[in-house]
A and B are shown apart, each in its own frame.
Chain A
């Protein structure tokens, strides 16, 4: 109960009201704020950057070992000179995929499903807020945290390499590496955000939506692994479709796009990836145009599905 001296009578609000534009940003901001408070998300952010952290440690010690004049130092220096820098970013991105799945589930599985359950759409749509505002707000609320989680370690690793290993051809070998990686990260964040929102919009329970998205991820990933084994067992001479079907999964599409944009097939992780020793095993990159169109179609299709599911009338009764 209110304090006996409190004035609890109703008073009209006479303060400012912003015009009914950019309402999507209020929704996005709320999503980002809620995400920033989730402890497990913070832990996963660090986990998703594990390859970059490991590489920083490895490169630091290899580089330190290469500063003397003895034979061991010359060997270390030789290793440094053979590092394929863009592949390190490809690996960093690839190894972040599984933690990124968990990040996406935490951020997006309940984004619309929980709103469906609690009929929150009535709260949104009874304000000067359109379906489009809602959709964009939810999308940005997932997209931005994923982008930050992927971009921050990438930029830090890039800065570390640019400042420390320029003498080993870091900037010369791939001058557009950072913008290319940022494009990859934007596409990846948009892809995850779009897909998980569409799945979330189909359900009334965040957990069910999360389980469905995870099932989609692992089932398609199993298919990718099967294609990879087929490719490897055929010693790179498997039929043509195999190398394309390898990218037929949620993370496969993203890795394929990354490979196509960086123009690399990939190689063994860490300093095992050396110039002139690219293994035959890595599947070659898919055609850039094709994979870009597939990803774009999936993002647009997901947005369309989500749009169809956002209906105020159903929840009004």
Chain B
């Protein structure tokens, strides 16, 4: 089931087009919204939240149109904004409980739930402190807590690791992963930090200059066209490489005892061919795996300037090293 469906969405701020004929579908689970600064990630979230009215196109969350449904759809959404936000003069527990009440929770349940969520977000000990006295890391956590308090089905996290030290970043990513996997909360994480996205997300949507550049699972995005194999051998063996090339394979130079081998046909057949070549030349194979790019390479490929948008459901170019 699609959690978010965006169809031909165009959003303009005056003469500047922030999103241009943008269409995508976001499935259940944890999805990363990737793109450089100014790509249109935050505008997409603003539009999905109903803060911005699109010039054209539609956006649906959990099957409901974001414009037509009005505020009621926001009862099922949580937003952790990029910037610090809190209500001045409140302790963490009263702030989170108030956020719950604003979402429609009865007072008593909002208070109880605020305690639970703050405990989960690691602010149990600091829950009676004024939010204004919190450190950056704590403010990030309280933003997550206020977004979670009413039990949203969809959670938008806009740059959730901004301003966090390495340990805080790891803890925040652990929190996001724990919420998004097996808890029934669908998470859309907007970030330009590829490592964070790779750590917590199953799927990605790549945005560049307001246009969709790529979408799919991280595995798909990292896959290389032709499905080459990375074959690890005990030590470099020229005879093995030559044998493979005789069969018609494209073999790259060894890198850390790994040959990148691309053969025609399916992967299983390629495995058999490589094994027979190894037997014939006495090469000792230590491991096989499908070759893939780093997410960074995949992202850079997707956002190459000047190219028309291309949707990467299928693996893109690449090949033997």
Residues on B lying within 8 angstroms of A by beta carbon are: 42, 46, 49, 51-52, 70-75, 77-79, 81-89, 98-99, 101-106, 109, 113, 116, 119-120, 122, 124-125, 132, 146-151, 178-179, 183-185
Query: For chain A, what secondary structure do more than half of its interface residues adopt (helix, strand, loop), or is it mixed?
Result: loop
Contacts of A10 in B (CB 8 A): 120, 148, 178-179, 183, 185
User: Told that A16-B105, A23-B102, A120-B87 touch, could you supply 4 new A-B pairs with CB distance under 8 A?
Assistant: A10-B185, A18-B104, A127-B74, A315-B85
From B52, B82, B106, B120, residue with most partner A Cβ within 10 Å: B120
Let me know if A118 and B87 touch, CB within 8 A.
yes
| Residue A119 interfacial (CB < 8 Å) | yes
A127 to B74, CA, bound (A): 5
Residues on A lying within 8 angstroms of B by beta carbon are: 1-2, 6, 8-20, 23, 26-27, 30, 34, 110, 114-115, 117-130, 312-313, 315-317
Let me know if B151 and A123 touch, CB within 8 A.
no
Instruction: Indicate which residue in A12, A20, A23, A114 contacts B185 across the interface (CB closer than 8 Å).
Output: A12
A297 to B85, CA, bound (A): 34
A127 to B98, CA, bound (A): 11
Let me know if A30 and B105 touch, CB within 8 A.
no
With A20-B72, A128-B72, A313-B51 as contacts: A12 and B183 at CB distance below 8 Å? yes
Instruction: Indicate which residue in A13, A15, A118, A313 contacts B86 across the interface (CB closer than 8 Å).
Output: A118
With A17-B105, A124-B102 as contacts: A317 and B82 at CB distance below 8 Å? yes
From A34, A316, A317, residue with most partner B Cβ within 10 Å: A316
* Shortest 9 CB-CB contacts between residues of A and residues of B: A13-B151, A128-B71, A17-B104, A126-B79, A119-B85, A127-B102, A18-B104, A114-B88, A312-B51
- 19 contacting pairs across A/B (C-beta < 8 A): A1-B125, A8-B119, A9-B178, A10-B120, A11-B183, A16-B106, A16-B109, A17-B104, A118-B84, A119-B81, A119-B84, A121-B85, A123-B87, A125-B49, A127-B102, A128-B73, A128-B103, A313-B46, A316-B81
Nearest B residue to A22 by beta-carbon distance? B104
A125 to B50, CA, bound (A): 9
Instruction: Indicate which residue in A16, A23, A115 contacts B88 across the interface (CB closer than 8 Å).
Output: A115
B184 smallest CB distance to A (angstroms):
5
B139 smallest CB distance to A (angstroms):
10
B92 smallest CB distance to A (angstroms):
13
Contacts of B119 in A (CB 8 A): 2, 6, 8
Contacts of B74 in A (CB 8 A): 20, 126-129
A195 smallest CB distance to B (angstroms):
21
Nearest A residue to B53 by beta-carbon distance? A313
Instruction: Indicate which residue in B77, B88, B116, B178 contacts A120 across the interface (CB closer than 8 Å).
Output: B88
A17 to B104, CA, bound (A): 5
Let me know if A316 and B86 touch, CB within 8 A.
no
With A110-B88, A313-B52 as contacts: A17 and B75 at CB distance below 8 Å? yes
Nearest B residue to A117 by beta-carbon distance? B88
A252 to B189, CA, bound (A): 55
A103 to B49, CA, bound (A): 36
Let me know if A20 and B89 touch, CB within 8 A.
no
Instruction: Indicate which residue in B103, B116, B183, B185 contacts A127 across the interface (CB closer than 8 Å).
Output: B103
A125 to B73, CA, bound (A): 12
B206 smallest CB distance to A (angstroms):
20
Let me know if B104 and A128 touch, CB within 8 A.
yes
Let me know if B75 and A123 touch, CB within 8 A.
no
A119 to B132, CA, bound (A): 12
A13 to B120, CA, bound (A): 13
With A2-B124, A9-B178, A126-B79 as contacts: A120 and B85 at CB distance below 8 Å? yes
